Amino acid sequence: MEHNAREAIVLLMKGLFDRTDNEAAWSALVGASHAAIVDYFNIIGLEPIIDETEGYAYLRQKEPEEDEAALPRLIPARELGYKVSLLCVLLRKRIADFDMQSDDFRTIVTKEELVEQLLLFMPQTFDEVKLRRELDATIKKVEDLGFLKKLRGEHEHYEIRRSLKAFVDAQWLAEFDKKLQEYQKAELWQ
């Protein structure tokens, strides 16, 4: 197996793989080495999910066939907290709005814009410094998940990664909306 294909495998194993992270490895993933990479992951019960149009790929646990025994889970399901989920929804909405208004591929947002959007959903508090730290930590967590990428040389600017579209789909939004209604009924944020 060629070097670029092995690099693609490693990048997929690290999490979300964006085409802009390594063009040569991306070419191997969608090109001549595609079948070998898919076969490699099939052996261990994983399936590469590739969106060539948006330029990202990730791994998903395969469901076993009827006659197969299930393998141990390699990719744990993560439950996100309210603030992280909320930010993901807001970012997904931002991508949808941007796609309707622009032909540009990259959606750029400032940290201050993110904080302002989140503040609309946060309770009024006397400790503004603590709230600001929590919101900064939320933004950092979404960045660690791979849905935001800091722009080089721009400390306060982020690119919203298009891969967010795969994770925040209609089903996910419906589940989040249900949880928001539960929060509202319980008055958890007031």
Q: Could you give the C-alpha distances from 165 to 6, 44, 102, 139, 147, in angstroms and in order? A: 26, 26, 17, 17, 9
The overall pTM is greater than 0.85:
no
Tens-digit pLDDT string for the chain (190 aa): 899 999 999 999 988 888 888 999 999 999 999 999 999 999 888 999 999 988 889 998 888 888 878 778 877 777 778 889 889 988 988 888 887 887 777 889 999 999 988 888 777 777 788 888 999 999 999 998 888 989 888 778 999 988 888 788 767 777 777 776 776 666 554 4
82-186: CATH, from 1.10.10.2260, 1.10.760.10, 3.30.70.1230, 3.30.1370.110: 1.10.10.2260
Say what the pLDDT of residue 48 is: 94
Say what the pLDDT of residue 24 is: 93
DSSP H or E run through 46: strand 46-51
Residue 23 is which amino acid?
Answer: E
Q: Where are the domains of the chain?
A: 3-61, 82-186
Tokens of 179: 């949880």
Say what the pLDDT of residue 190 is: 46
Say what the pLDDT of residue 106 is: 82
